[in-house]
Chains A and B, each alone.
Chain A
Amino acid sequence: MKIIIPTNGDNLDSDISKSFGRAKRFLVVDSKSMKFDIVENTQNMQSAQGAGIQSAQSAIKSGGDIVITIHLGPKAYRVLSESGVRLYVGANGSIKQNIEEFQKGTLGAMTNHNVEGHWI
Protein backbone atom coordinates (compact mmCIF):
# COMPACT_ATOMS: atom_id res chain seq x y z
CA MET A 1 0.00 0.00 0.00
CA LYS A 2 0.99 3.62 -0.42
CA ILE A 3 1.96 5.43 2.75
CA ILE A 4 2.26 9.22 2.92
CA ILE A 5 4.62 10.79 5.45
CA PRO A 6 5.38 14.52 5.87
CA THR A 7 9.06 15.44 6.04
CA ASN A 8 11.54 18.28 5.60
CA GLY A 9 14.08 15.82 4.20
CA ASP A 10 13.98 13.88 0.93
CA ASN A 11 14.64 10.16 1.60
CA LEU A 12 13.64 7.24 3.81
CA ASP A 13 16.24 8.09 6.46
CA SER A 14 14.92 11.64 6.84
CA ASP A 15 12.98 12.47 9.97
CA ILE A 16 9.21 12.64 9.96
CA SER A 17 8.13 16.30 10.16
CA LYS A 18 6.46 17.58 13.32
CA SER A 19 4.00 19.58 11.23
CA PHE A 20 1.74 18.18 8.52
CA GLY A 21 0.45 21.33 6.82
CA ARG A 22 3.77 23.18 6.86
CA ALA A 23 6.07 20.27 5.99
CA LYS A 24 8.35 20.91 3.02
CA ARG A 25 7.25 17.77 1.22
CA PHE A 26 5.56 14.39 1.44
CA LEU A 27 7.20 11.06 0.73
CA VAL A 28 4.70 8.65 -0.85
CA VAL A 29 6.16 5.21 -0.14
CA ASP A 30 5.11 1.86 -1.59
CA SER A 31 5.34 -0.25 1.55
CA LYS A 32 6.13 -3.43 -0.41
CA SER A 33 8.98 -2.19 -2.61
CA MET A 34 10.00 0.76 -0.37
CA LYS A 35 10.23 2.82 -3.56
CA PHE A 36 8.97 6.35 -3.09
CA ASP A 37 7.80 9.52 -4.87
CA ILE A 38 8.20 13.05 -3.58
CA VAL A 39 5.29 15.50 -3.49
CA GLU A 40 6.49 19.06 -2.85
CA ASN A 41 4.58 21.10 -0.26
CA THR A 42 6.65 24.29 0.07
CA GLN A 43 3.88 26.36 -1.52
CA ASN A 44 1.83 25.85 1.65
CA MET A 45 4.50 26.85 4.13
CA GLN A 46 3.78 30.57 3.85
CA SER A 47 -0.01 30.33 3.56
CA ALA A 48 -1.94 32.70 5.80
CA GLN A 49 -4.72 30.15 6.11
CA GLY A 50 -5.76 26.78 4.77
CA ALA A 51 -2.28 25.20 4.67
CA GLY A 52 -3.56 22.04 6.31
CA ILE A 53 -6.43 21.79 3.84
CA GLN A 54 -4.20 22.21 0.79
CA SER A 55 -1.62 19.77 2.14
CA ALA A 56 -4.38 17.22 2.77
CA GLN A 57 -5.58 17.70 -0.81
CA SER A 58 -2.04 17.10 -2.11
CA ALA A 59 -1.81 13.94 -0.05
CA ILE A 60 -5.14 12.66 -1.38
CA LYS A 61 -4.19 13.48 -4.99
CA SER A 62 -1.01 11.44 -4.65
CA GLY A 63 -3.20 8.35 -4.35
CA GLY A 64 -1.99 7.34 -0.89
CA ASP A 65 -4.02 4.94 1.29
CA ILE A 66 -2.43 5.77 4.62
CA VAL A 67 -1.09 8.94 6.25
CA ILE A 68 1.34 8.70 9.15
CA THR A 69 1.85 12.03 10.91
CA ILE A 70 2.85 13.18 14.36
CA HIS A 71 0.46 16.14 14.42
CA LEU A 72 -2.70 16.93 12.50
CA GLY A 73 -4.80 20.07 12.84
CA PRO A 74 -8.61 20.20 12.76
CA LYS A 75 -9.09 21.19 9.12
CA ALA A 76 -6.54 18.77 7.68
CA TYR A 77 -8.05 16.05 9.88
CA ARG A 78 -11.53 16.79 8.54
CA VAL A 79 -10.41 16.64 4.90
CA LEU A 80 -8.35 13.46 5.30
CA SER A 81 -10.88 11.55 7.40
CA GLU A 82 -13.76 12.46 5.05
CA SER A 83 -11.74 11.26 2.05
CA GLY A 84 -11.34 7.74 3.39
CA VAL A 85 -7.56 7.87 3.86
CA ARG A 86 -6.54 5.99 7.04
CA LEU A 87 -4.69 8.04 9.65
CA TYR A 88 -2.02 6.91 12.11
CA VAL A 89 -0.08 8.76 14.79
CA GLY A 90 3.61 8.73 13.92
CA ALA A 91 6.56 8.63 16.29
CA ASN A 92 9.70 10.76 16.35
CA GLY A 93 12.29 9.22 14.11
CA SER A 94 12.93 8.45 10.48
CA ILE A 95 10.37 7.70 7.80
CA LYS A 96 11.77 4.19 7.53
CA GLN A 97 11.32 3.61 11.27
CA ASN A 98 7.73 4.84 11.13
CA ILE A 99 6.88 2.49 8.29
CA GLU A 100 8.43 -0.40 10.22
CA GLU A 101 6.41 0.48 13.33
CA PHE A 102 3.27 0.70 11.22
CA GLN A 103 3.88 -2.71 9.68
CA LYS A 104 4.46 -4.19 13.16
CA GLY A 105 1.10 -2.72 14.18
CA THR A 106 2.53 -0.55 16.95
CA LEU A 107 1.25 2.80 15.64
CA GLY A 108 -2.13 3.94 16.96
CA ALA A 109 -4.92 5.10 14.68
CA MET A 110 -5.65 8.83 14.76
CA THR A 111 -9.27 9.40 15.72
CA ASN A 112 -9.29 13.18 16.00
CA HIS A 113 -7.09 16.20 15.36
CA ASN A 114 -4.38 16.41 18.01
CA VAL A 115 -3.30 20.03 17.67
CA GLU A 116 -5.18 23.29 17.08
CA GLY A 117 -4.88 25.43 13.96
CA HIS A 118 -2.18 28.07 13.85
CA TRP A 119 -4.49 30.97 13.02
CA ILE A 120 -8.19 30.66 12.24
Chain B
Amino acid sequence: MIIAVASGKGGTGKTTISVALSLAINEKVKLLDCDVEEPNAKLFIDLGDENQEMCTIPIPNIDQSLCTFCGKCQDICQFNAITVLDNKVLVFDELCHSCGGCDKICPYNAVSEYEKPIGTVINTKTKSLSFVQGKLDVGNAMSPPLIRAVKSRIDNNIINIIDCPPGNSCPVITAVNGADYIVLVTEASPFGLNDLKISVDTIKELNIPFGIIINRTTDIYKDVSYYCSMENIKILLEIPENLNVAKAYSKGDTLLDAVPEMKGELQKVFSQIKECVL
Protein backbone atom coordinates (compact mmCIF):
# COMPACT_ATOMS: atom_id res chain seq x y z
CA MET B 1 0.00 0.00 0.00
CA ILE B 2 1.18 3.52 -0.76
CA ILE B 3 0.00 6.42 1.39
CA ALA B 4 1.05 9.92 0.28
CA VAL B 5 1.08 12.69 2.87
CA ALA B 6 0.62 16.02 1.11
CA SER B 7 -0.59 19.52 1.88
CA GLY B 8 -1.30 22.77 0.09
CA LYS B 9 0.38 25.29 2.32
CA GLY B 10 3.83 24.37 3.51
CA GLY B 11 4.58 24.00 7.19
CA THR B 12 1.25 22.42 8.09
CA GLY B 13 2.77 19.23 9.51
CA LYS B 14 3.36 16.74 6.66
CA THR B 15 6.70 15.55 7.99
CA THR B 16 5.40 15.56 11.57
CA ILE B 17 2.50 13.34 10.54
CA SER B 18 4.51 11.13 8.12
CA VAL B 19 7.10 10.36 10.79
CA ALA B 20 4.51 9.80 13.53
CA LEU B 21 2.37 7.58 11.30
CA SER B 22 5.45 5.51 10.31
CA LEU B 23 6.27 4.92 13.98
CA ALA B 24 2.68 4.32 15.12
CA ILE B 25 1.66 1.63 12.63
CA ASN B 26 2.14 -1.94 13.81
CA GLU B 27 3.26 -3.24 10.44
CA LYS B 28 6.44 -3.12 8.35
CA VAL B 29 6.75 0.44 7.05
CA LYS B 30 8.96 2.29 4.60
CA LEU B 31 9.06 6.08 4.89
CA LEU B 32 10.12 7.85 1.67
CA ASP B 33 11.06 11.52 2.00
CA CYS B 34 10.21 12.96 -1.42
CA ASP B 35 10.51 16.60 -0.41
CA VAL B 36 13.82 16.49 -2.24
CA GLU B 37 14.47 20.24 -2.26
CA GLU B 38 14.58 20.33 1.51
CA PRO B 39 14.17 16.85 3.02
CA ASN B 40 13.83 17.01 6.81
CA ALA B 41 12.33 13.70 7.97
CA LYS B 42 15.84 12.48 8.79
CA LEU B 43 15.99 15.00 11.63
CA PHE B 44 13.43 12.85 13.43
CA ILE B 45 14.34 9.37 12.25
CA ASP B 46 17.93 8.31 12.68
CA LEU B 47 18.34 4.66 11.82
CA GLY B 48 22.12 4.41 11.63
CA ASP B 49 24.22 3.20 8.69
CA GLU B 50 23.35 4.83 5.41
CA ASN B 51 23.71 3.63 1.87
CA GLN B 52 24.14 6.63 -0.43
CA GLU B 53 23.71 6.62 -4.20
CA MET B 54 24.13 9.39 -6.73
CA CYS B 55 21.15 10.03 -9.00
CA THR B 56 21.75 11.17 -12.59
CA ILE B 57 19.65 12.11 -15.61
CA PRO B 58 20.66 11.82 -19.28
CA ILE B 59 21.44 15.14 -20.99
CA PRO B 60 22.34 15.51 -24.70
CA ASN B 61 25.86 16.13 -25.88
CA ILE B 62 26.21 17.27 -29.49
CA ASP B 63 29.21 16.24 -31.58
CA GLN B 64 29.66 19.46 -33.54
CA SER B 65 31.87 17.72 -36.11
CA LEU B 66 29.05 15.35 -37.15
CA CYS B 67 26.30 17.98 -36.88
CA THR B 68 25.00 19.66 -40.04
CA PHE B 69 22.93 22.24 -38.09
CA CYS B 70 19.74 20.97 -39.71
CA GLY B 71 17.77 22.00 -36.59
CA LYS B 72 15.71 18.79 -36.22
CA CYS B 73 16.75 18.41 -32.58
CA GLN B 74 15.71 22.01 -31.83
CA ASP B 75 12.34 21.46 -33.52
CA ILE B 76 11.53 18.31 -31.57
CA CYS B 77 12.53 19.72 -28.18
CA GLN B 78 9.42 20.84 -26.27
CA PHE B 79 11.48 22.59 -23.63
CA ASN B 80 13.72 24.98 -25.64
CA ALA B 81 16.75 23.15 -24.31
CA ILE B 82 18.53 23.09 -27.70
CA THR B 83 19.32 26.13 -29.86
CA VAL B 84 20.82 25.59 -33.31
CA LEU B 85 22.73 28.53 -34.78
CA ASP B 86 24.41 28.77 -38.20
CA ASN B 87 27.53 26.95 -37.12
CA LYS B 88 27.05 25.73 -33.57
CA VAL B 89 24.54 24.05 -31.27
CA LEU B 90 23.87 25.25 -27.73
CA VAL B 91 22.42 22.89 -25.10
CA PHE B 92 20.71 24.31 -22.01
CA ASP B 93 21.11 21.49 -19.44
CA GLU B 94 18.85 23.08 -16.89
CA LEU B 95 15.85 23.10 -19.27
CA CYS B 96 16.30 19.52 -20.53
CA HIS B 97 13.63 17.04 -19.41
CA SER B 98 15.63 13.98 -20.62
CA CYS B 99 12.93 12.81 -23.06
CA GLY B 100 15.58 11.45 -25.49
CA GLY B 101 13.80 12.98 -28.51
CA CYS B 102 16.86 14.78 -29.87
CA ASP B 103 18.91 11.59 -29.80
CA LYS B 104 16.22 9.65 -31.65
CA ILE B 105 15.56 12.27 -34.33
CA CYS B 106 19.12 13.21 -35.30
CA PRO B 107 19.80 11.86 -38.82
CA TYR B 108 23.58 12.12 -38.38
CA ASN B 109 24.10 10.37 -35.03
CA ALA B 110 25.52 13.59 -33.65
CA VAL B 111 23.64 13.34 -30.34
CA SER B 112 24.92 11.23 -27.49
CA GLU B 113 23.91 11.32 -23.83
CA TYR B 114 25.94 11.93 -20.71
CA GLU B 115 24.72 11.33 -17.18
CA LYS B 116 24.38 14.57 -15.23
CA PRO B 117 24.26 14.21 -11.42
CA ILE B 118 21.18 15.85 -9.92
CA GLY B 119 21.11 14.63 -6.31
CA THR B 120 21.51 11.73 -3.92
CA VAL B 121 19.31 8.96 -2.59
CA ILE B 122 20.06 7.51 0.84
CA ASN B 123 18.65 4.30 2.33
CA THR B 124 18.65 3.16 5.93
CA LYS B 125 16.66 0.56 7.84
CA THR B 126 15.89 -1.33 11.03
CA LYS B 127 13.79 -4.48 11.41
CA SER B 128 10.38 -2.78 11.21
CA LEU B 129 11.12 0.61 9.63
CA SER B 130 12.99 1.54 6.43
CA PHE B 131 13.79 5.06 5.37
CA VAL B 132 14.65 6.53 1.96
CA GLN B 133 15.53 10.15 1.36
CA GLY B 134 16.12 12.09 -1.86
CA LYS B 135 18.17 15.29 -1.72
CA LEU B 136 18.45 17.53 -4.75
CA ASP B 137 21.85 19.13 -5.42
CA VAL B 138 21.99 22.86 -4.71
CA GLY B 139 21.41 24.87 -7.90
CA ASN B 140 19.25 22.21 -9.49
CA ALA B 141 15.68 23.29 -10.24
CA MET B 142 13.98 20.06 -11.30
CA SER B 143 12.76 17.66 -8.62
CA PRO B 144 10.61 15.11 -10.49
CA PRO B 145 13.44 12.88 -11.79
CA LEU B 146 14.86 12.55 -8.27
CA ILE B 147 11.42 12.00 -6.75
CA ARG B 148 10.90 9.16 -9.23
CA ALA B 149 14.27 7.70 -8.22
CA VAL B 150 13.21 7.72 -4.54
CA LYS B 151 9.84 6.17 -5.39
CA SER B 152 11.55 3.40 -7.34
CA ARG B 153 12.49 2.09 -3.86
CA ILE B 154 8.82 1.51 -2.97
CA ASP B 155 8.28 -2.03 -1.65
CA ASN B 156 4.83 -3.20 -2.68
CA ASN B 157 4.79 -5.88 0.02
CA ILE B 158 4.73 -3.41 2.91
CA ILE B 159 3.21 -0.05 3.87
CA ASN B 160 4.90 2.87 2.10
CA ILE B 161 4.45 6.38 3.41
CA ILE B 162 5.50 9.22 1.12
CA ASP B 163 6.40 12.55 2.71
CA CYS B 164 5.53 14.87 -0.20
CA PRO B 165 6.75 18.36 -1.10
CA PRO B 166 4.36 21.23 -0.31
CA GLY B 167 2.12 22.92 -2.88
CA ASN B 168 0.34 21.62 -5.96
CA SER B 169 2.76 21.72 -8.85
CA CYS B 170 4.91 19.18 -10.72
CA PRO B 171 6.92 17.86 -7.76
CA VAL B 172 3.73 17.12 -5.79
CA ILE B 173 1.98 15.44 -8.71
CA THR B 174 5.07 13.28 -9.24
CA ALA B 175 5.13 12.38 -5.55
CA VAL B 176 1.43 11.44 -5.19
CA ASN B 177 1.04 9.71 -8.54
CA GLY B 178 0.23 6.04 -8.06
CA ALA B 179 -0.65 6.37 -4.38
CA ASP B 180 -3.55 4.33 -3.01
CA TYR B 181 -4.57 7.11 -0.63
CA ILE B 182 -3.62 10.73 -0.01
CA VAL B 183 -3.63 12.27 3.46
CA LEU B 184 -3.92 16.04 3.16
CA VAL B 185 -2.48 17.80 6.18
CA THR B 186 -3.81 21.28 6.69
CA GLU B 187 -3.62 23.84 9.47
CA ALA B 188 -6.59 25.61 11.02
CA SER B 189 -5.96 29.06 9.50
CA PRO B 190 -7.28 31.13 6.56
CA PHE B 191 -4.02 30.58 4.65
CA GLY B 192 -4.27 26.84 5.34
CA LEU B 193 -7.86 26.72 4.12
CA ASN B 194 -7.08 28.70 0.97
CA ASP B 195 -4.35 26.30 -0.09
CA LEU B 196 -6.34 23.25 1.04
CA LYS B 197 -9.08 24.10 -1.45
CA ILE B 198 -6.51 24.24 -4.27
CA SER B 199 -5.10 20.86 -3.18
CA VAL B 200 -8.57 19.30 -3.04
CA ASP B 201 -9.35 20.53 -6.58
CA THR B 202 -6.04 19.11 -7.80
CA ILE B 203 -6.42 15.73 -6.11
CA LYS B 204 -9.97 15.28 -7.34
CA GLU B 205 -8.52 15.40 -10.87
CA LEU B 206 -6.22 12.48 -9.98
CA ASN B 207 -9.08 10.25 -8.79
CA ILE B 208 -7.17 9.08 -5.71
CA PRO B 209 -9.16 8.71 -2.46
CA PHE B 210 -8.15 11.22 0.20
CA GLY B 211 -8.86 12.44 3.69
CA ILE B 212 -7.85 15.44 5.79
CA ILE B 213 -5.89 15.80 8.99
CA ILE B 214 -6.45 19.22 10.52
CA ASN B 215 -3.39 20.21 12.52
CA ARG B 216 -3.20 22.87 15.23
CA THR B 217 -6.94 23.28 15.78
CA THR B 218 -8.20 25.92 18.19
CA ASP B 219 -11.60 27.04 19.46
CA ILE B 220 -11.30 30.24 17.47
CA TYR B 221 -11.00 29.14 13.84
CA LYS B 222 -13.50 26.53 12.63
CA ASP B 223 -13.67 27.27 8.91
CA VAL B 224 -11.59 24.28 7.81
CA SER B 225 -13.84 21.70 9.47
CA TYR B 226 -16.87 23.63 8.19
CA TYR B 227 -15.48 23.49 4.64
CA CYS B 228 -14.85 19.74 4.95
CA SER B 229 -18.40 19.01 6.13
CA MET B 230 -19.90 21.21 3.39
CA GLU B 231 -17.83 19.41 0.72
CA ASN B 232 -18.36 15.98 2.26
CA ILE B 233 -14.62 15.50 2.76
CA LYS B 234 -13.51 12.96 5.35
CA ILE B 235 -11.71 14.39 8.38
CA LEU B 236 -9.39 11.63 9.58
CA LEU B 237 -8.11 13.43 12.66
CA GLU B 238 -7.98 16.83 14.35
CA ILE B 239 -4.85 17.64 16.34
CA PRO B 240 -5.26 20.50 18.82
CA GLU B 241 -2.70 23.29 18.94
CA ASN B 242 -0.11 22.30 21.52
CA LEU B 243 3.09 24.12 22.38
CA ASN B 244 4.66 20.85 23.55
CA VAL B 245 4.53 19.54 19.98
CA ALA B 246 6.52 22.55 18.76
CA LYS B 247 9.01 22.12 21.62
CA ALA B 248 9.48 18.45 20.76
CA TYR B 249 9.90 19.31 17.05
CA SER B 250 12.59 21.84 17.83
CA LYS B 251 14.57 19.11 19.62
CA GLY B 252 14.16 16.54 16.86
CA ASP B 253 11.59 14.57 18.86
CA THR B 254 8.38 13.30 17.29
CA LEU B 255 4.68 13.98 17.76
CA LEU B 256 4.44 10.68 19.62
CA ASP B 257 7.08 11.86 22.13
CA ALA B 258 5.11 15.06 22.81
CA VAL B 259 1.62 13.55 22.84
CA PRO B 260 1.78 9.74 23.36
CA GLU B 261 -2.01 9.40 22.91
CA MET B 262 -1.43 10.24 19.26
CA LYS B 263 -0.11 6.73 18.69
CA GLY B 264 -3.58 5.27 19.22
CA GLU B 265 -5.18 8.08 17.21
CA LEU B 266 -2.86 7.49 14.25
CA GLN B 267 -3.50 3.75 14.38
CA LYS B 268 -7.20 4.60 14.03
CA VAL B 269 -6.37 6.84 11.06
CA PHE B 270 -4.49 3.94 9.47
CA SER B 271 -7.49 1.64 9.99
CA GLN B 272 -9.75 4.18 8.28
CA ILE B 273 -7.33 4.36 5.35
CA LYS B 274 -7.13 0.56 5.07
CA GLU B 275 -10.93 0.34 5.08
CA CYS B 276 -11.12 2.82 2.24
CA VAL B 277 -8.38 1.26 0.13
CA LEU B 278 -8.94 -2.47 0.58
A contact residues vs B (CB 8 Å cutoff): 47, 49-50, 53-54, 56-57, 60, 75, 78-79, 82-83, 119-120
Tell which of A50, A78, A79, A120 touches B141, judged by Cβ atoms closer than 8 Å: A120
Q: B191 interface residue, CB < 8 Å from A? A: no
Whether B90 lies near A82 (C-beta < 8 A) is: yes
Give the docked Cα–Cα distance between A82 and B79 (Å): 20
B92: chain A residues within 8 A (beta carbon): 50, 53, 75, 78
Give the docked Cα–Cα distance between A56 and B141 (Å): 23
Interface string of B55-87 (1 = CB under 8 A from A): 000000000000000000000000111010110
Whether A49 lies near B85 (C-beta < 8 A) is: no
Q: How far is the CB of B121 from chain A (nearest CB, A)?
A: 22
Tell me the nearest residue of chain B to A117, going by C-beta.
B94
Give the docked Cα–Cα distance between A84 and B114 (Å): 28
Tell which of B81, B88, B94, B142 touches A82, judged by Cβ atoms closer than 8 Å: B88
Tell which of A75, A83, A119, A120 touches B85, judged by Cβ atoms closer than 8 Å: A83
B90: chain A residues within 8 A (beta carbon): 78-79, 82
* Interchain Cβ contacts under 8 Å between A and B, 29 examples: A47-B80, A49-B79, A49-B80, A49-B95, A50-B79, A50-B80, A50-B81, A50-B92, A50-B95, A53-B80, A53-B83, A53-B92, A53-B95, A54-B80, A56-B83, A57-B83, A60-B85, A78-B90, A79-B83, A79-B85, A79-B90, A82-B85, A82-B88, A83-B85, A83-B86, A119-B141, A120-B95, A120-B141, A120-B142
Give the docked Cα–Cα distance between A31 and B92 (Å): 33
Give the docked Cα–Cα distance between A38 and B99 (Å): 35
Q: How far is the CB of B93 from chain A (nearest CB, A)?
A: 10
Q: How far is the CB of A119 from chain B (nearest CB, A)?
A: 8
Give the docked Cα–Cα distance between A82 and B83 (Å): 10
